[in-house]
Amino acid sequence: MGLNALDVAVIAAYLACVTLFGMRFRRQEGTLRGYFLAGQQIPWWAIALSIVAAETSTLTIISVPGIAYDGDFRFLQLVLGYLVGRVVICALLLPQYFRGSLVTAYQLIERRFGGRLRSLTAGLFLLTRAAAEGVRVFAVAIVVGIALRGVLGGFTDLQRDVAAIALVSLLTMIYTFKGGMAAVIWTDVVQLAIYVIGSTAGLVTILHLIPGGWSAACATAAAAGKFRVFDFSWNAHASYTLWSGVIGGAFLTTASHGTDQLIVQRLLAARSQSQARLALLSSGVMVFFQFALFLLIGAMLFVFYRAHPLTAQFTRSDTIFPLFIVTHLPHGLSGLLISAILAAAMGNLSAALNSLSSTTIVDFYSRWRPHSSEAERVRLSRLSTVAWCVVLFVLAIAARRGGRVLEMGLSIASVAYGSLLGVFLLGVLTRRANERGAMAGMVCGFVLNIYMWQYTSVPFTWYVPLGSAVTFAVGYAASFADANDASGAMQNAPR
């Protein structure tokens, strides 16, 4: 069926309204803490919704249904680990962040170890967050390319991808540039509502089109094993087992929500530590039900396409839900669903731009120019937002050659998360670890994760547990050896 003028009008109206809404906050951010932490005046529930929106992205909406379409609900085992990881963060890391006036996660590293390790952790975040976010931004092109194939019929696939990525990146950059973290969080709240409502409407439509409705669809999906959640096997090469899911998910979330500036910055914007804790824990419950919704959509699409077979096979499972939207949904609702997917993309991109900019200015520029004025730092923060938008645009184009976008994005992020989490745990759990030892451990953990990612079949769910364990063990041992060497040198020094 494809999109028509009504659908395009709905999409255009959404893009215009959310950009104008985000720009409402441009007058409130005159200081660096105001620009990056919204003056720490955001209520917990808005931060919780913003965390969910940042955690979701377009990858979730288009890839998670594809996971259930190809397989079953075992992905939820990873989400159970997400809940465990949040509890660990509340117990270990959150109290550390609220001791002092921190703006980024990596200021904590300097307070514990020193400036060199702060630069190393912040630099690693910038590199890997940019790479992972490039994959997420590319996911926009998958959706828009399918949606506007009829409208942009004379364009090549590359031209459609470039146009889609450029449009979303430009509009997101405008309100992030103007309003900072306040604009990011409050537009996240609006965008989360849009894509949850839109996705729910899509699920209802799918069920309406399946002969027999909900009961028949559930019976067919259950017979095909689509509702299987738990896998108790010890298969180390399977991505989604109970053990890899809970353990890997817990480590992944402890790293992503406890050491990644993308989420830590939201927590630091809370009015107090207790509000940050409430926001983090409640977001975990929301995320679980949200992932269940998208998996259910994938299972129902499996049933739908058994009753209405396609004339051609899917080239990638990421396209299953977007293709259904533009070919089977009523006009108007198709535009709403495409807007919902764009909402997830813009919410995540705005968060990435703000966190990349905050790390650039706070962890690097402000240390290089400690006497620069507040006005100068805010101005450069906005310019940094523009620069990072250009970088992510280029990386998104480069990501066109990858595989399933959700797992590709998680794999890239997990490569860095192992060593980052290991360093943070060294700082929080030990007193003996020093900067030289922690840096040695971090390098070893990062190299291990690169090796597993590029040269082994180890699933990405194990990257963070193994990388953080190696970082912690090597960092502690190297610190112990360094302390002994220093002690021996003092004893042998001439008197």
- Compute the distance between CA of residue 460 and CA of residue 244 in angstroms, rounded to an integer: 9
* CB atoms closer than 10 angstroms to residue 154: 6
The answer to whether residue 247 scores a pLDDT higher than 50 is yes
Domain ranges of the chain: 5-402
Backbone angles phi, psi at 176, to 5 degrees: -70, -40
For residue range 94-140, what is the model confidence (pLDDT) as tens digits?
998 888 778 888 888 988 898 899 999 999 888 888 887 777 777 77
Q: CA 243, 248, 249 angle in degrees (round to 5)?
A: 105
For residue range 310-348, what is the model confidence (pLDDT) as tens digits?
665 666 666 778 778 777 778 888 888 777 777 777 777
- Compute the distance between CA of residue 466 and CA of residue 461 in angstroms, rounded to an integer: 10
Backbone angles phi, psi at 42, to 5 degrees: -90, 130
Q: Which residues contact 144 (CB under 8 A, 6 or more apart)?
A: 160, 163, 164, 167, 168, 338, 342
DSSP assignments along 263-317, one per residue: HHHHHHTBSSHHHHHHHHHHHHHHHHHHHHHHHHHHHHHHHHHHHS--SS--S-G
Provide the mean pLDDT of the chain: 82
DSSP assignments along 70-137, one per residue: HS-STTHHHHHHHHHHHHHHHHHTHHHHTTTT-SSTHHHHHHHT-HHHHHHHHHHHHHHHHHHHHHHH
Taking residues 248-272, report their average pLDDT.
88
The answer to whether residue 490 scores a pLDDT higher than 50 is no
- Compute the distance between CA of residue 422 and CA of residue 416 in angstroms, rounded to an integer: 10
Class of CATH domain 5-402: mainly alpha
The answer to whether residue 90 scores a pLDDT higher than 90 is yes
CA dist 266 to 71, 73, 130, 261, 301, Å? 34, 30, 18, 8, 35
More confident residue, 267 or 143: 267
For residue range 438-448, what is the model confidence (pLDDT) as tens digits?
999 999 999 99
The region that residue 225 occupies, defined by phi over 0 for left and psi between -120 and 50 for alpha, beta otherwise, is left
Contact 150, 3 (CB under 8 A): yes
Helix (H) or strand (E) holding 63: helix 44-70
